[in-house]
Amino acid sequence: MKNIFLMFLGILIALASLEILLQTSSFVIEQANKLSNKKIVKLADNKDLIKILCIGESTTVAQYPKQLVDYLNKHITKDFMVIDCGISATHIENIVERIDSQLETYKPDIVISMMGINDAEFQNAEIYKKHKLKILELFMLIKKHIEQIAADQLYADDKDIDYSKLQDEYSANRKELTQLEQLIDKNPKNLKAIETISILYRMRKDYVNVEKYVGIYRANSAAPNMHMLFMLTDAYIRMGKDNDAQKLILSVLNDNDISDEDKNIYLSKAVESYIYLSNPEKLKDYYNLIIKTKTQTAILDNLYKYLISKNISIKYYDYSNKFKNTIKTVNLNTEKIKNAYLIFAKKVIDSGAVYICMGYPAMPIKDFEDFFKDTALKSKILFVSNENNFKEQLKKTPYYGLFRDNFGGAFGHCTDAGNRLIAENVGQYILKIVN
């Protein structure tokens, strides 16, 4: 009787353990690339451990730091720890505000930053259609202004809320999005809150809620928001709702109220979802849908070359494309970014850590170097460029072999191959520092 009881108890314990494992497995998988905060804090006191802090936005979080660990494991004999502190869609002033606590918590020996793109100035896209009659053009500008005022009124009561900081806070943890949900319950037409919660659910790969809140946004917005449309398209693709994705893409392409510039932005983002899936056949369908509607977009040539490299049978588009050979220009050399870098660098250097100021892929490092011109900080910073290594690789590899999109003009979020290129480049500098 005792043996039966013990066997029954063992089965119950096993089932309970399995339930706990199943309940927590998805969270563990998503956090597998990071150590727990408690463990990191404990290890931070180990003076023999080389601690490398990676700071940045979506081009950092869960991107090149993982590849850097692989590279250093092969080339370094000392104990080290790479701490990924990247946060998607964050802004540079928020990064600067966090650095004091990060330096105190992790006590890094080396700090790598690749930051500023979310605050950069891009070449202005047309926000309305140009017309030959100037009076009509003026009317369109007034109409756009009125729409913006109306949109601002939808969340006028919440102007004291910093949605950027709120998004950062929720990005850094797995807490329920209670405050945003309460704001939306209070005002179902609060577009800023709806957009923020949609972004956060996408980061958490909760595509059902992305679909839900983008739907609410579209029902309450007078004008199409290309980023929201992209997130809905992305959710459909990630959930395997291919027909819904195709219908949405087609509706955007056939919408005469959406400018060619906005369509180009949307298509440049949506390609990321197909590249992420690594499914050339679905990417082929995407390409064919674009050329069937004779849509103007900058992604066509790079997309064609990528599909050819994957041995996909496809025809080259046969219509005039005004975006052919054009690259969106980006200006990182602004007062806002410069001032943030000066504050950030001083804090890192004063902490005793080695500061590596790293440039974005295929972009010149000169803008960042100029921030520190005629300052005592410049000689204390190690500048690492990712311009030539990417430009050389792009001579041999199709653009979408290294990038999943082109949100940054000449670059985008990297594929594994692109992140490996960054990791190997900065990794060589780290080896010199360590040795």
pLDDT in tens, 228-254: 999 999 999 999 999 999 999 999 999
Q: What is the pLDDT of residue 429?
A: 97
The CATH number of domain 49-120+333-434 is 3.40.50.1110: yes
Report d(CA 381, CA 387) in Å as an integer: 18
Q: What is the pLDDT of residue 397?
A: 97
Task: Provide the 10 A C-beta neighbour count for residue 416.
Answer: 14
As given in the structure block, the two tokens for residue 361 are 């892929």
426/329: higher pLDDT: 426
Residue 153 has pLDDT above 60, yes or no: no
The pLDDT confidence band at residue 156, using thresholds 50, 70 and 90, is very low
Q: What is the pLDDT of residue 172?
A: 79
Q: What is the pLDDT of residue 91?
A: 94
The pLDDT confidence band at residue 37, using thresholds 50, 70 and 90, is very low
The pLDDT confidence band at residue 149, using thresholds 50, 70 and 90, is very low
pLDDT digits over 171-183, tens only? 878 789 999 999 9
Q: What is the pLDDT of residue 1?
A: 57
Residue 163 has pLDDT above 70, yes or no: yes
As given in the structure block, the two tokens for residue 431 are 């080896």
Helix (H, G, I), strand (E, B) or coil at 359: coil
Residue 100 has pLDDT above 80, yes or no: yes
Percent of the chain scored above 70 by pLDDT? 80
Quote the strand ranges of 212-371, DSSP E: 330-331, 354-358
Residues of the chain with CATH 1.25.40.10: 122-273
Report d(CA 229, CA 342) in Å as an integer: 37
The pLDDT confidence band at residue 328, using thresholds 50, 70 and 90, is confident
pLDDT digits over 114-137, tens only? 999 999 987 644 433 444 454 544
- In this prediction the pTM is 0.81
Q: What is the pLDDT of residue 131?
A: 46
Class of domain 122-273: mainly alpha
Q: What is the pLDDT of residue 162?
A: 86
Helix (H) or strand (E) holding 240: none
CB 222 within 8 A of CB 147: yes
Residue 23 has pLDDT above 60, yes or no: no
The pLDDT confidence band at residue 59, using thresholds 50, 70 and 90, is very high
Percent of the chain scored above 90 by pLDDT? 71
- What's the mean pLDDT in 269-291? 94
As given in the structure block, the two tokens for residue 399 are 């653009």
Residues of the chain with CATH 3.40.50.1110: 49-120+333-434
Residues 6+ apart with CB under 8 A from 434: 50, 76, 78, 80
